[in-house]
Amino acid sequence: MRTLCHGTDKLYNTTDKVFLVVECRECKLIRLYPWPEADEIHQYYPENYWYDPGGDTADRLAEFWRRFVLRDHVRFVRRALESCEGTAPVLDVGCGGGLFLRELNLPQNQIVGLDFSVNAASVAWSSNGVPVACGALPRAPFRPGSFRTITMFHVLEHLYDPSAYLNAAHRLLQPDGRLVVQVPNAASWQFLLFGENWNGLDIPRHLIDFKEQDLVNLLDYCGFEVVRRKHFSLRDNPAGLATTLALGLDPMSRRIRGVQDAPRTKLMKDLAYFALVLASIPLTMLEAACRCGASIMIEAKRKA
């Protein structure tokens, strides 16, 4: 393997340990090295790693924006649902606070979330009315063929064995079901331009940095065939570039790192970050049009 770059946790400052980002010389897969031990990695995930809006003006504006940009994901999944028969539930793996499932606007008995965090599950229930189970997908208490669609937004890159999750999804989907996955794209212009400073690496939480073909190959290996691909995410691509350019303005990073700002200062920083996100949209749309967007979203179905 060859070393591409190195870095530590710049986003949340959970550690000062330095990791390498390496590429296999044979298969070209990019990954973190060394991988954190299983009893170590949990410390890199802050307790409030998901989004839970507060009550001040800045948080209300952030909540409105998050709901607006999630429409991109919602439209993609709703189109996938058109290919599925019946009213079996949609399962969102790594659902966090449950906002995406809420925005799908389906009956409560047709949505289910899954997350490791009990606190995230509590927020999903209390804030968004989403039923959530806690645990890992390969050991989740669901019957085979239970779901018409399973979504995994920014999940696979965090896993030691992403194939275990995809195999579980294959088992849990109904025969005409759809799988929707999204990961950062290590073949993006942003990674080429910014290297170790690219927000999409998210050292040390991202264990594998997928290129599009890596993900397609993995899906094929786990019994799926690709139906659609999308290289632009209004929620993720512009915000990722904005965070790469001005990490100190990122609202989630500031909150988790415990930055104490006066309400007026917090609002000004949030507005500056929002302006930078808006300014990032044209470039991120251009890179996506060239199939080099900072994220890749794929709809897949079970092979016949």
Amino acid 108 reads: Q
Q: Which two tokens stand for residue 303?
A: 């092979």
Amino acid 91 reads: L
d(CA 235, CA 157): 18
d(CA 190, CA 175): 37
Please report the pLDDT score of residue 56 as a whole number: 58
Please report the pLDDT score of residue 117 as a whole number: 86
pTM score of the predicted model = 0.94
What DSSP character marks residue 127?
H
> Which residues are CB-neighbours of 270 under 8 A, at least 6 positions away?
58, 61, 62, 249, 251
What count of other Cβ atoms lies within 10 Å of the Cβ of residue 191? 26
> Which residues are CB-neighbours of 79 under 8 A, at least 6 positions away?
228, 299
Please report the pLDDT score of residue 235 as a whole number: 95
Strand ranges in the chain using DSSP code E only, listed in sequence order: 2-7, 19-23, 30-33, 90-93, 111-115, 132-134, 147-153, 173-184, 208-209, 224-230, 295-302
Q: Answer yes or no: are the C-beta atoms of 110 and 129 closer than 8 Å.
A: no
Integer Rg of the chain from CA: 19
Q: Answer yes or no: are the C-beta atoms of 5 and 21 closer than 8 Å.
A: yes
User: Which phi and psi (to 5°) does residue 35 adopt?
Assistant: -70, 135
Please report the pLDDT score of residue 57 as a whole number: 59
* Angle, alpha carbons 279-75-94 (nearest 5°): 85
Among 7, 12, 10, CA closest to 32: 7
User: Which phi and psi (to 5°) does residue 89 adopt?
Assistant: -70, 165
3-state secondary structure 37-57: CHHHHHHHCCCCCCCCCCCCH
Among 68, 61, 45, 183, CA closest to 119: 45
How do the pLDDT tens digits run along the chain, 304 residues long?
A: 899 999 999 999 999 999 999 999 999 999 999 999 988 999 999 877 665 555 555 667 777 888 899 999 999 999 999 999 889 999 999 998 999 999 999 999 999 999 988 888 888 888 889 999 999 999 998 999 999 999 999 999 999 999 999 999 999 999 999 999 999 999 999 999 999 999 999 999 999 999 999 999 999 999 999 999 999 999 999 999 999 999 999 998 998 888 888 988 988 999 999 999 999 999 999 999 999 999 999 999 999 8
d(CA 287, CA 90): 31
